[in-house]
Structure 1
């Protein structure tokens, strides 16, 4: 992540495309809320952790010993939190670790693979590239395939739609520069989205990108690119996923991008943007949860399934406790109790893969509890494949799973 953030003036300028649309989005959500008032909702909560154990204050990279110590400490905390905080389905609270491919270390990945085997979070792909000079399509594709296959073959991470499928992955772009959306910095490849689709990416979870210029006008949505994938920033617009609709990959699932109005300066409301970040300087409480719910990120036609994609940089200074320790345990404990007490919502902790599967199930008009669709289409490589589906694949008929996803 770039250490130098934008100035206040730059933040305003970069935010104009989505700020000018925000009132219309808010009005639409208000009207939708009137139609679905008092409806019980399912909250599908995913934490996209930009998992960089090498991060060091002021730039640079910590040594390997420090990184390994950090990851092991994370594992210990994840076990404690997973044991204490479970959702309505008995699923432990966990993060999805988007590990940076350019920082690959087999020893660190082995710890993450062990965590995944324990049900404490899955591993997906994060990538920083084009920071010193613009990357090339050829190098980007080779980098993605190389890291994808390392994760799948050596560590048994990622997922497949059927046993003979290529490895499939979720993606978060380093420096938020998805599809060259920061004017050349941190990417340089206009057709990046096309390359992601070709190499097996089924969902991108980079957004929101506030306060950078990478933030597109489309907010608070599960959608697909509205422009040709070979163009730069093809996700700047696009149709939301809807029940009985079609799906083009990669799907874009944004986190919440809403305003908090509780702060005051000189006695007047002073808004703060809540983009779903988990960090020590923005504590979680039920008011934040209400804002995330109010963003109503969902598949159109299935408003009772609300996706809450949060994000963090788990190794930023002081953020381990805020993202996985006691404050996070207290928050989710309170949230789970509130949902049970009021009957207003049910919380489901989901990995990035599970959130995608649930969204796809919604498109296919599946109903009931989202929990039933965690493995709807993509299954972890680490997880044994059902015998009947292995047989179907071996005779050239991958069955309904492959047909439903249409990823191969």
Structure 2
């Protein structure tokens, strides 16, 4: 066989391998972010303890799959009962139990459900923020929808903080179907190209939607905390932005707080292809110690403050197939591992935080603050009214 034949076969095999790799990447929409992952830089070495801020955000949807009222009540009641039991068995370095942030969908509003969740939060187990599913929306309808829901959550349920500087009700946001700023290529499940601007004007302090992989809405920016500037004429303006850094200042339209996104080589498909680690917690992706370690190792931080690491994970908490994982032994073991491996006081210090507290600690880092992040949980935005009421009731009791 001539050398030219051998070379031709080798080139053919190489081309076939490259095509197979490209098709594999496209099948999971990895072409959007794999370059950022492969050419990422490692977090810098840290002298002294690493403070780990652990934040669990929930796309909390009691009406999932068109459930009847009895099923909705069962879902909410189970959370209000079993989460208290789970969280009360754990605490961080500051003596606080795990904090669960319930991003509640506007389109699923039911007063009785929010009353129960607000009572759970008032007892010190979390906070309520805003989630929204919408499609083919308009700017005027979006403004009215968010403004109305902010008033309802704040005035009826004691949720959402008030900015002491402006007197404005502020909120954190997760976009339904991952489609922040009309980021789905076909334009479904949003419809608004200036959504970042609208959120800023309506009082949103930060977005917590990402990561969204393997969805095609995933940004090319990964494992980052950054400010995105809106292009009102184009979708997905948050694909890139300016990193939040110490000594910096707010810029653009909206802060984007991402959770860990990486490849999981421990759990490979067919023993070869790595799985996508997108910080999603459910039955099919239980929060194993190896995953917890990977989340912390990702090292998401404000530039210039690598000793403050932010771990934001997410779930859809009202789906029955996942509730045993989220409220049972798997979540219990996750918190035990966090407290055993990342709370020794010398190498690591653990802090359970809500999304609002994440924002406050980020802003403190941006302002150049150092030391114990626990001192900055309320740095810019105070707790919502339900927390004050709960604290008063606990003090009286």
Partner residue in 2 for 1:223: 226
Distance 2:84 2:269 in 1: 41
Alpha carbons 1:192, 1:230 under 8 Å: kept = no
Task: Give structure 1 regions of 4+ aligned residues with deviation exceeding 4 angstroms.
Answer: 8-11
Alpha carbons 1:125, 1:171 under 8 Å: kept = yes
Distance 2:170 2:353 in 1: 17
Distance 1:43 1:11 in 2: 34
Q: 2:35 aligns with which of 7, 11, 20?
A: 20
Cα deviation, 1:319-376, whole Å, max 9, x if unaligned, reads: 1121232211122112211234584322111000000000000001111111111111
The alignment status of 1:257 with 2:266, answered yes or no, reads no
Seen in structure 2, the aligned counterparts of structure 1 residues 13 and 338 have a Cα distance that, compared at 3 Å, is closer
The alignment status of 1:128 with 2:143, answered yes or no, reads no
Distance 1:16 1:95 in 2: 32
SS at match of 2:318: coil
User: Radius of gyration: which is bigger?
Assistant: 2
Seen in structure 2, the aligned counterparts of structure 1 residues 264 and 16 have a Cα distance that, compared at 3 Å, is closer
Cα deviation, 1:243-296, whole Å, max 9, x if unaligned, reads: 010113421000000111113466x54311111111111222221122111221
Distance 2:48 2:292 in 1: 17
Q: 1:208 aligns with which of 202, 208, 211?
A: 211
Alpha carbons 2:52, 2:342 under 8 Å: kept = no
Distance 1:274 1:265 in 2: 13
The alignment status of 1:109 with 2:128, answered yes or no, reads no
Q: CA deviation at 1:158?
A: 0.4
Q: CA deviation at 1:185?
A: 0.7
- The unaligned stretches of length 5 or more in structure 1 are 1-7, 386-408
SS at match of 2:332: helix
SS at match of 2:222: coil
Partner residue in 1 for 2:380: 377
Partner residue in 2 for 1:346: 349
Q: Which moved more, 1:316-325 or 1:87-96?
A: 316-325
Q: Which moved more, 1:289-298 or 1:189-198?
A: 289-298
Q: CA deviation at 1:230?
A: 6.0
* Alignment map for 1:281-292 (pairs within 5 Å): 281-292=284-295
TM normalised by structure 2 equals 0.87
Q: 2:273 aligns with which of 270, 273, 284?
A: 270
Q: CA deviation at 1:242?
A: 0.1
Partner residue in 1 for 2:69: 64
Q: CA deviation at 1:17?
A: 2.2
Distance 2:218 2:37 in 1: 13
Alpha carbons 1:298, 1:307 under 8 Å: kept = yes
Q: CA deviation at 1:317?
A: 2.8
Distance 2:165 2:104 in 1: 24
Seen in structure 2, the aligned counterparts of structure 1 residues 146 and 227 have a Cα distance that, compared at 3 Å, is closer
Distance 2:269 2:173 in 1: 39
Q: CA deviation at 1:119?
A: 0.7
Distance 1:227 1:158 in 2: 24
Cα deviation, 1:214-235, whole Å, max 9, x if unaligned, reads: 1010000010114546642111
TM normalised by structure 1 equals 0.85
Q: CA deviation at 1:10?
A: 8.2
* Alignment map for 1:37-56 (pairs within 5 Å): 39-56=48-65
Distance 2:61 2:279 in 1: 19
SS at match of 1:114: helix
SS at match of 2:173: strand
SS at match of 2:126: coil
Q: 1:320 aligns with which of 314, 320, 323?
A: 323
Distance 1:51 1:11 in 2: 30
Q: 2:164 aligns with which of 162, 167, 177?
A: 162
Seen in structure 2, the aligned counterparts of structure 1 residues 333 and 229 have a Cα distance that, compared at 3 Å, is farther
Partner residue in 2 for 1:246: 249
Partner residue in 1 for 2:3: none
Alpha carbons 2:49, 2:345 under 8 Å: kept = no
* Alignment map for 1:92-103 (pairs within 5 Å): 92-103=97-108
Alpha carbons 2:228, 2:240 under 8 Å: kept = yes
How many residue pairs get aligned? The number is 364
Alpha carbons 1:91, 1:349 under 8 Å: kept = yes
